[in-house]
């Protein structure tokens, strides 16, 4: 640990650049996929009928359990099926995937298509299930 402090003192410019790059990467990564919303906040919006959930998982995973009222548009066909969401442009769109990893790409695509009120479900359907919230199986 003493060597670390010695290195920082002797190479303060290099250490400063490292910290600046680290902060820049953290800021860019946090903004990359848009805002996140917790499962509890999503429930509140859905119950007030102010939001619609777009589930970007494939059909098989969607059939195993889905959020009530969600619309299934797999990520690989989102661009071609975006017209189905035009009637929801005034509502908050919540993008949900399996674990929250791919929702950022969907949010980016929807923003490019002119949707301004799009957020992603933090942790995806796995977090929803982990919060003991209901999933519909059909």
CA distance 67 to 44: 13
What is the mean predicted confidence (pLDDT) over 105-118?
90
Both 65 and 120 in one domain: the answer is yes
Tens digit of pLDDT for each residue in 73-109? 999 999 999 999 999 988 999 999 999 888 989 998 9
Both 83 and 114 in one domain: the answer is yes
Both 62 and 28 in one domain: the answer is no
Both 16 and 41 in one domain: the answer is no
What is the mean predicted confidence (pLDDT) over 127-138?
90
How many domains, in total, are found in the chain?
2
pLDDT at 54: 96
Residues facing residue 52 across a β-bridge: 93
What is the DSSP secondary-structure string of 44-67?
Answer: HHHHTT-EEEEE-S-HHHHHH-B-
Taking 90 as the threshold, does the pLDDT of residue 34 lie above it? Answer: no
pLDDT at 138: 67
**pTM of the full structure:** 0.78
Both 62 and 80 in one domain: the answer is yes
Q: List the domain range (segments joined by +) for residue 4.
A: 1-32
Contact between 97 and 103 (Cβ < 8 Å): yes
* 39: nearest Cα among 84, 99, 115, 87: 99
Both 18 and 81 in one domain: the answer is no
Both 53 and 96 in one domain: the answer is yes
Both 103 and 73 in one domain: the answer is yes
Both 52 and 118 in one domain: the answer is yes
Both 7 and 70 in one domain: the answer is no
C-alpha dist (Å) from residue 107 to 5, 9, 97, 128, 130: 42, 43, 11, 18, 23
pLDDT at 49: 82
């Amino acid at each position: 640990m003493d060597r670390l402090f010695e290195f920082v003192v002797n190479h303060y410019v290099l250490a400063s650049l490292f910290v600046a790059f680290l902060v820049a990467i953290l800021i860019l990564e946090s903004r990359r996929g848009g805002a996140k919303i917790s499962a509890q906040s999503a429930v509140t919006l859905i119950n007030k009928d102010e939001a619609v959930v777009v589930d970007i998982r494939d059909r098989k995973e969607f059939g195993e359990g889905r959020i009530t009222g969600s619309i299934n548009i797999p990520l690989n066909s989102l661009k071609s099926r975006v017209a189905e969401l035009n009637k929801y442009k005034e509502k908050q769109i919540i993008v949900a995937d399996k674990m929250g990893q791919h929702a950022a790409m969907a949010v980016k695509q929807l923003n490019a298509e002119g949707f301004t009120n799009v957020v992603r479900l933090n942790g995806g359907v796995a977090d929803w299930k982990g919060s003991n919230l209901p999933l519909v199986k059909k």
